Amino acid sequence: MSDKQQNQEDKFLAPENRKHTVIGPEGEEIHVDPLNDYFCQDLPKVEAPYKGVLEKFLNWARSESLWVLAYGTGCGSIELPPLFSPRFDAYRFGVMMRPTPRQSGVLIISGYLAVKTLKRVIRSYEQMQNPKYVIALGSCTINGGMYWDSYNTINRLDHYLPVDVYIAGCMPRPEAILSGFNKLKERIKSGNAEGANEYVENLEWYRTNQKKVIKDWNMPPYNW
């Protein structure tokens, strides 16, 4: 990358993430570049779906047990605890909340995203394993909502993450979220929910958009 970009990225980098030398136990000097040395530098590959009855069976299995990452990113997450309470029970549809990205298949972006949270959401999304889907809740993800002229919230989510289903409302009722899950299931069963593959194919475009907004990028090329 050009020198100007490098300087701008280095301005916000914490001292322990820059290149420095470490003295080993026997006095030798080791040159360390944390962002390159500590993380895997490979980029992911596109996983083509299987064909025929096997894929139909796998799609049915994926759609009937959607595990959600319990990350309430914005104000829409006030309607998520009632969704898992006995009145609007979402457990009966196979939907469960998991605390870590490694065990979940669906990421619910509930509302607006400040730039600081966007960085953490990108990290969580890339750490999730295939197959993975994104549901966008609320009108702030569609066109910015009521914070359209704010200096700290993003306007269009699909320029930063691949979205499968949008649920409109401010905020959507739990019944609306359940019907959104139904729509996601239909999309998976018909074979159209390829958000993860789209992300990998157009990684350049997504990364340019993300780096335009997140000025202190201290993450490796892909967060495995």
Partner 1 sequence: MKDIIDHLKKRFPVYEIGEGPNGVIFMSVEAAKLVPMLTSLKANHGYGILVILSAVDWLEEYKFQLTYIVNNPEEKSDLGIRVFIKREDATMDSVHRLWEHAATFQREIKEMFGINFPGSPRVDEPFLLEGWDNLPPMRRDFDTKQYSEDTYFPRPGRETNDPAEYMKQKLYPDE
Partner 2 sequence: MSNMNYSWKNNRSMFPEADETGKLVVDLDSQKYIKVWQGPNHPGVTGNMSLELTISGDEVVEAQTHVGYLHRGFEKLFERRRYMQCFPTCIRMCVPEPDTNEYNLARGTELLGGIEVPEMANWLRMIALEMARLQVLLRMVPGQAGTMGLGLPAQWGLYYRELILDRFEELTGGRIYHMYILPGGVRGLLPDGFKKRLEENLVKIESFMKDVDRVIYANAVFKKRTKGIGVIPEAWIDPYGATGPVARAAGFERDVRKDYPYLYYNQLDFGVNVEHESDVFARFRVRRKDVDTTIDLLRQIMSKMPEKGDIKAETPNVLHWKIPRGETLVRCESSRGEYIFYMVADGSMYPRRINMRGPSYSHAVVLLEKLLINANISDVSPIMVSLATCPPEIER
Q: Choose from partner 2, partner 1, none: what does 171 bind? Cβ within 5-8 Å by kind.
A: partner 2
Q: Largest Cα–Cα distance of the chain, in whole Å? A: 65
Q: Which of 18, 19, 20, 116 lies at the binding interface for partner 1 (CB under 8 A)? A: 116
Which residues within the stretch 76-115 sit at the binding site for partner 1 (CB under 8 A)?
115
213 counts as binding partner 1 under rule CB under 8 A: yes
Alpha-carbon distance 75 to 170, whole Å?
Answer: 9
Q: Residue 137: enclosing H or E segment and its boundaries?
A: strand 133-137
CB-CB contact of 202 with 160 (8 Å): no
124 counts as binding partner 2 under rule CB under 8 A: yes
- Build a one-symbol-per-residue string for 2-31: x at contacts with partner 1 by CB under 8 A, - elsewhere: ---------xx-------------------
Residue 14, Cβ density class (10 Å: 0-12 exposed, 13-18 middle, ≥19 buried):
exposed
| Number of other CB atoms surrounding residue 196 within 10 Å | 21
Alpha-carbon distance 151 to 147, whole Å?
Answer: 9
152 counts as binding partner 2 under rule CB under 8 A: yes
Q: Choose from partner 2, partner 1, none: what does 112 bind? Cβ within 5-8 Å by kind.
A: partner 2
* Nearest alpha carbon to residue 77 among 31, 136, 119: 136
Q: List contacts with partner 2 (CB under 8 A).
A: 69-75, 78-79, 81-82, 85-87, 99, 112, 114, 116-117, 120, 124, 146-147, 149-153, 170-171, 173
Q: List contacts with partner 1 (CB under 8 A).
A: 11-12, 115-116, 119, 142-144, 148-156, 159, 209, 212-216
